[in-house]
Amino acid sequence: MNDSAAATAASCDAAGDLAGRHVVLGLTGGIACYKAAELTRELAKAGATVQVVMTEAAEQFITAVTMQALSNRPVLTSQWDAREPNNMAHINLTRVADAVLVAPASADFIAKLAQGRADELLSLACLARPIERCALLVAPAMNREMWAHPATRRNVAQIAADGAVVLGPAAGDQACGEVGDGRMLEAHELRDELIAFFQPNVLAGRRVLVTAGPTYEPIDPVRGITNLSSGKMGFAIARAAAEAGAEVTLVAGPVALATPRGVRRVDVHTARQMHDAVLPLAPRHDVFVATAAVADWRPAQAAERKLKKADGHATPTIAMAENPDILADVARLPGAPYCVGFAAESHDLAKHAREKRERKGVPLIVGNIGPSTFGRDDNALLLVDAVGEREMPRGPKLALARALVREIAQRLPVKDPR
């Protein structure tokens, strides 16, 4: 999936995720201000109210008119703005805000934050915000040498120690023609970081291992056996677990999906490759979520050359061999993680899910009707455990993934603080 398609898909996923949130978006001087226009749109589409504040330097790169049109609110640029009844815009701004997001944050502005300087509206607002209920998130944007400079590194460390959340930067091409660290994250990445910030950290300190997508079992060099799983549910679970504060490893079959931010990804093709990747990792994790639609069988021997169709010759017979059972093998490990299996069925969902839970020896099975969800952005789930069954009504896969993560978190034993 290319970056544009990934961003579009993510934008659909984010609809409503910031509903009811009020965000002060601060712009400082830098060419990355052009990304702030799209960021404003993304935050608004996700449901947030966006109040833009611009420094004098920011106005050299993008106009207040543009930002007002996109945010549908007057843009504030001066601490002397007389439109405020009490003439205290720096106080009023953050009393109703859930977060201040400075994007782009220049090296100069980060230095101001580190030193507690407040000589214009945005730095005043950051200093005057109620720390306990109005978060400060900072997205650095600068030349790679400026980012690497010891002074900048000290300042970034200081604002992080003071409670700011530093988002990025990314590496890549820079406006000056150089390449390296210092690029501001893209608009959809910053939107997702803000969404994640507001998610409850129910898996903080936990490690989660997720499998996703189909497997592909080769018949010959150009053909194989696979299934219709898109991997979207597993990727949504990996993202939701990362949002919840977990350290997440995602073992993915052949899918065209962008890796959720902050998630470590391991790509495989066959069931045996997935088994070989998962088994060594599983003991180091607290939770294993087996979302992948793993092929139960594979051709016993893949042909070295393409099997050719020829008139008068019999249709080839393909001998099949059984693939390893990844979920059952993980569940049998000494000190196994909390195991969650998925059952993609075509009929009799509850019956097959119950049988699979008992057969695999796991505490929780999540069932769904495969043909009604493969490739779609929505799903409906059935949770099956030792007590009984509970339905999770149809909804967006990411919303269901977040609900499932909360469910798993409630079932985990209390973590030993040692």
Q: Catalytic site residues?
A: 176
| Cα–Cα dist 205/87, whole Å | 45
3-state secondary structure the chain: CCHHHHHHHHHHHCCCCCCCCEEEEEECCCCCHHHHHHHHHHHHHCCCEEEEEECCCHHHCCCHHHHHHHHCCCCECCCCCCCCCCCCHHHHHHHCCCEEEEEEECHHHHHHHHHCCCCCHHHHHHHHCCCCCCEEEEEECCCHHHHHCHHHHHHHHHHHHCCCEECCCEEEECCCCCEEEEECCCHHHHHHHHHHHCCCCCCCCCEEEEEECECCEEEECCEEECCCCCCHHHHHHHHHHHHCCCEEEEEECCCCCCCCCCCEEEECCCHHHHHHHHHHHHHHCCEEEECCECCCEEECCCCCCCCCCCCCCCCCCCCEEECCCHHHHHHCCCCCCEEEEEEEECCCHHHHHHHHHHHHCCCEEEEEEHHHCCCCCEEEEEEECCCCEEEEEEEEHHHHHHHHHHHHHHHCCCCCCC
Of 321, 322, 338, 318, the residue nearest 330 (C-alpha): 338
In this structure, the strands spanning 297-299 and 320-322 are: antiparallel
